């Protein structure tokens, strides 16, 4: 992450606070709208979700790897994809000390969706863009398979074409494909399965 090449790629995607698509069926967050992610006391659940002070937060419009999916790492070993994306998120948060803005709340128990600004050198970058452009997360899709935040699709396409991060694996378990396949299977009548 600290290589000049990685930083220059991120600088191209400079975003302070991305314009966000509407979050359907979401209520206003109950927590303070702006907050820091502390350097301790955070429990990372996935590469896009964490808990702090008893509250679950998720990066808006970001999709990380799904638990119990595996890829082959450069050493030829099967590696848990969720753990790889989770570890990358934790490292980025440790290194960049992001400041986040709560933009929506949904579910029971409630999850607060947030966008976060990461600080890399003199640049302020959107944390979702960093994760996606470095190949450790993807642009999340809505229930119809459409991107929730289109600029993330551009970052994802760039990471895929340059085979950054998890895209370098020949057997990367694309979480959007896995989720779409599961949704499609759930919509099929039981007799068709």
What digits encode the pLDDT tens for the residues 96-115? 999 999 999 999 999 999 99
Share of the chain above pLDDT 70, in %: 81
pLDDT digits (tens, 9 = 90+) for 127-176: 999 999 999 999 999 989 999 999 999 999 999 999 999 999 999 999 99
Residues 6 or more apart whose CB falls under 8 angstroms from that of 79 comprise: 70, 71, 72, 73
- E-strand stretches of 4-154: 34-36, 42-44, 49-52, 55-59, 62-63, 70-72, 78-80, 99-106, 111-120, 123-126, 138-139
- Number of residues in the chain: 193
User: What are the chain's domains?
Assistant: 4-20+44-182 (2.40.50.90)
For 60, other C-beta atoms within 10 Å of its C-beta total 26
Is-above-0.85 flag for pTM?
A: no
Question: Which residues make Cβ contacts (< 8 Å) with residue 131, sequence separation at least 6?
Answer: 47, 48, 59, 62, 64, 85, 88, 89, 92, 137
CA angle 118, 123, 124 (to 5 degrees): 35
Per DSSP, the three-state class of 154 is helix
Tell me the pLDDT of the chain averaged across its residues: 85
> What is the per-residue pLDDT for 188?
83
pLDDT per residue as tens digits for the range 22-63: 334 445 545 457 999 999 999 999 999 999 999 999 999 999
The span from the CA of 158 to the CA of 45, in Å, is 26
């Amino acid at each position: 992450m600290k290589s000049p090449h990685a930083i220059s790629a991120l600088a191209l995607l400079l975003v302070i606070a991305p314009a966000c698509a509407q979050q359907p069926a979401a209520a206003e967050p109950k927590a303070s709208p702006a907050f820091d992610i502390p350097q301790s006391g955070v429990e990372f659940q996935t590469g896009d979700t964490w808990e702090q002070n008893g509250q679950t937060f998720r990066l808006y419009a970001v999709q990380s790897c799904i638990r119990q999916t595996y890829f082959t790492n450069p050493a030829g070993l099967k590696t848990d994809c969720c753990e790889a994306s989770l570890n990358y998120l934790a490292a980025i948060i440790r290194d960049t000390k992001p400041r986040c803005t709560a933009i929506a709340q949904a579910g029971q128990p409630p999850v607060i969706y947030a966008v976060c600004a990461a600080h890399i050198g003199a640049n302020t970058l959107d944390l979702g863009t960093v994760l996606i452009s470095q190949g450790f997360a993807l642009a999340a899709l809505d229930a119809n398979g459409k991107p929730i935040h289109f600029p993330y699709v551009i970052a994802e396409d760039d990471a895929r074409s340059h085979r950054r991060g998890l895209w370098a694996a020949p057997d990367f378990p694309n979480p959007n494909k896995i989720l779409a396949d599961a949704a499609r299977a759930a919509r099929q009548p039981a007799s068709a399965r």
